[in-house]
Structure 1
Amino acid sequence: MTTTDSPRRPGRRRTTGASPVRTLERGLHVLSVLGAGGAATLSDLSRRAGLSASTASRLLQTLEKAGYAEWDAASGQWRVGLGAYRVGAAYVGGSGLTGAADPAMQRLVAELGETCNLAVVQGGEAVYIHQVEGRQLVRMFTTLGAGASLHATGVGKALMAWQPPEEVRARLGGGPYPALTPHTLTTLAQYLESLEAVRQQGYALDDQERELGVRCVAAPVHDAAGRVVAALSVSAPTTRLSEARVPETARRVREAAAEVSRRLGYGGPP
């Protein structure tokens, strides 16, 4: 196996000779190195971890299968996966992303009465990691940890709008995309055009694109480095979230997302 920085994904090999405990120790070490240094190619990560490229590759593939590492084919790099975030969030309690977002989400639900969600991107999906349920008798509900299409959701658009086109294509593919409703965007050209609108207005709208009778307004959450790390959204039936109410709802969602971003150390424009 080569140790060069190739965008191609390393092939799989069988693990031999190492005890389960030793393999676990090495896997945790690789995960720790990945978390400390950020996204890295196989050769860079193996060098930092002090392991051969073949050993690092096997460990990373095991971590990926469990959701603790993620392979980015577009950049040829490995990064920390959502599974590692979930474990970290369980330890830090209120000091992680969900902890930073919860106060703003609670206030937003108190003001609007509608369900508020927080989502991050994993692979080709938007994954919901936190929710504050609305106060309405009929309200939207999403299972935490569930994935949703990036092309047909407000959170998906908010997560992708500030990414380069090659990153968007790498995560969604070249299309056509599944038409979940008659309103779903099904081509890459349509989707990229919609992302331009998201960047200009500062929020994303799912206008019955995932489910008929449901609208969702979402805004990006930035970390201290200015990267979009999450999307905050409000979902409601179209009977309550009418077209006329979208601008005011979007304003409040943007304000809540900006508050979360500030809590994460972001000092840029809202």
Structure 2
Amino acid sequence: MATRKPGRTRTSEPTGVRALERGLRLLEELGGGEALSLSELARRTELTPSTTYRLLETLRRRRFVDWDETSGLWRIGLRAYQIGQAFCHPNSLSSLALEAMQQLVASVNETVNLAVLDGTEAVYIQQVESSQMLRMFTQLGARVPLHCTGVGKVLLAWRPPEEVRRLLGPEPLPAFTPNTLTRLEAILQELARVQQQGYALDREEREIGVRCLAAPVRDATGRVVAALSLSAPAVRLPDSRLTELVPAVLETAQTLSLRLGWQPETASLPTGQSSPT
């Protein structure tokens, strides 16, 4: 009579392989961009809630999934996004954005950045510098606060208020300059303006003498996955020039979104471009 191999059953793969397969099934369910509850994930994957929770916790520790403590919902994490983008390196988000960013810099001759959300901060993943003698420079991988930067406001604006509160933490928030908004209610009002007009401004809120204009980059599901920003010394970005630059920044951000598979209902740019507020 045939003997069973140690560590194996007659009808299934090794335990480690089964766990991997189940974890991948959870990632596939979350890969559509929808935030789901533990019970819904268990139902969709036909796993017990306890098994589902153990697998999700393992994935969360490795940042493949995120858990929203306020809503109790699970969503895909930054690490899963990073791994997915590595499928074809030239098509990674930072590489994919480079040509369009270079074109924008060639047009306006100001520094352009690309940032993503990581934890409770924005992280710069790509930059194209202007050729101006006095120009902005940000080291790739640098982290900045969300409440007082253009990229941070964009990454927050399309998220639910309860998630914004969780990401920002207790108030008052740190004041970096006299222009920094430090109260949650004022920040939520600012984010509502960002969502309505389709772009964000940093009027010397992070650093005196520096202004920024930022726009959202969306993926195939319509979710804001990055922020494209243009930054320059304040003397070169008065309100009049900001008004002129808004369409170019929005168009470049839309170009990146289309390359990521976003399909807008209309091809028109967001309204509210007549006067930055």
Do the aligned partners of 1:119 and 1:126 also contact (CA within 8 Å) in 2? yes
Q: In the alignment, does 2:109 pair up with 1:113?
A: yes
1:176 to 172, 175, 181: 172
Partner in structure 2 of residue 7 of structure 1: none
2:193 to 190, 197, 200: 197
Q: In the alignment, does 2:262 pair up with 1:265?
A: yes
Which letter does structure 1 place at the counterpart of 2:263?
Y
Partner in structure 2 of residue 67 of structure 1: 63
In structure 1, C-alpha distance between the alignment counterparts of 2:134 and 2:17, rounded to whole Å: 50
1:42 to 24, 38, 41: 38
Partner in structure 2 of residue 80 of structure 1: 76
Q: Give the direction of change, closer, same or farther, for the CA distance of 1:19–1:214 in structure 2 (3 Å limit).
A: farther
Partner in structure 2 of residue 248 of structure 1: 244
In structure 2, C-alpha distance between the alignment counterparts of 1:226 and 1:156, rounded to whole Å: 18
Partner in structure 2 of residue 232 of structure 1: 228
Normalising by structure 1, what TM-score?
A: 0.80
In structure 1, C-alpha distance between the alignment counterparts of 2:253 and 2:63, rounded to whole Å: 26
Q: Give the direction of change, closer, same or farther, for the CA distance of 1:260–1:146 in structure 2 (3 Å limit).
A: same
Report the 3-state secondary structure (helix = DSSP H, G, I; strand = E; otherwise coil) of the residue aligned with 1:255. helix
Which letter does structure 1 place at the counterpart of 2:44?
R
Which letter does structure 2 place at the counterpart of 1:211?
E
In structure 1, C-alpha distance between the alignment counterparts of 2:242 and 2:248, rounded to whole Å: 10
Report the 3-state secondary structure (helix = DSSP H, G, I; strand = E; otherwise coil) of the residue aligned with 1:87. helix
Do the aligned partners of 2:68 and 2:163 also contact (CA within 8 Å) in 1? no
In structure 2, C-alpha distance between the alignment counterparts of 1:150 and 1:182, rounded to whole Å: 17
Partner in structure 1 of residue 7 of structure 2: none
Which letter does structure 1 place at the counterpart of 2:237?
L
CA shift at 1:259, angstroms?
A: 2.2
1:152-208 deviations in whole A, cap 9, x for unaligned?
110121222233433322332452211122211000111122223323433211111
Partner in structure 1 of residue 6 of structure 2: none
Unaligned runs of 5+ in 2: 1-13, 270-277
2:50 to 46, 50, 54: 54
Normalising by structure 2, what TM-score?
A: 0.78
Q: In the alignment, does 2:218 pair up with 1:222?
A: yes
Unaligned runs of 5+ in 1: 1-17
Q: Give the direction of change, closer, same or farther, for the CA distance of 1:131–1:57 in structure 2 (3 Å limit).
A: farther
Do the aligned partners of 1:81 and 1:122 also contact (CA within 8 Å) in 2? no
Partner in structure 2 of residue 160 of structure 1: 156
Q: In the alignment, does 2:218 pair up with 1:212?
A: no
In structure 1, C-alpha distance between the alignment counterparts of 2:32 and 2:107, rounded to whole Å: 39
Report the 3-state secondary structure (helix = DSSP H, G, I; strand = E; otherwise coil) of the residue aligned with 2:235. coil
Identity of aligned residues (%): 55
Q: Give the direction of change, closer, same or farther, for the CA distance of 1:74–1:133 in structure 2 (3 Å limit).
A: farther
Do the aligned partners of 1:222 and 1:266 also contact (CA within 8 Å) in 2? no
Report the 3-state secondary structure (helix = DSSP H, G, I; strand = E; otherwise coil) of the residue aligned with 1:247. helix
Which letter does structure 2 place at the counterpart of 1:111?
S
CA shift at 1:35, angstroms?
A: 2.0
Report the 3-state secondary structure (helix = DSSP H, G, I; strand = E; otherwise coil) of the residue aligned with 1:239. helix
Q: Give the direction of change, closer, same or farther, for the CA distance of 1:216–1:49 in structure 2 (3 Å limit).
A: same
Q: Give the direction of change, closer, same or farther, for the CA distance of 1:177–1:78 in structure 2 (3 Å limit).
A: same
Which letter does structure 2 place at the counterpart of 1:193?
Q
Rg: which structure is higher? 2
In structure 1, C-alpha distance between the alignment counterparts of 2:137 and 2:101, rounded to whole Å: 15
Deviates more, 1:52-61 or 1:177-186: 52-61
Do the aligned partners of 2:38 and 2:53 also contact (CA within 8 Å) in 1? yes
In structure 1, C-alpha distance between the alignment counterparts of 2:262 and 2:37, rounded to whole Å: 27
In structure 1, C-alpha distance between the alignment counterparts of 2:32 and 2:241, rounded to whole Å: 44
In structure 2, C-alpha distance between the alignment counterparts of 1:150 and 1:107, rounded to whole Å: 27
Report the 3-state secondary structure (helix = DSSP H, G, I; strand = E; otherwise coil) of the residue aligned with 1:246. helix
CA shift at 1:25, angstroms?
A: 5.2
In structure 1, C-alpha distance between the alignment counterparts of 2:33 and 2:220, rounded to whole Å: 16
RMSD: 2.8
Deviates more, 1:133-142 or 1:76-85: 133-142
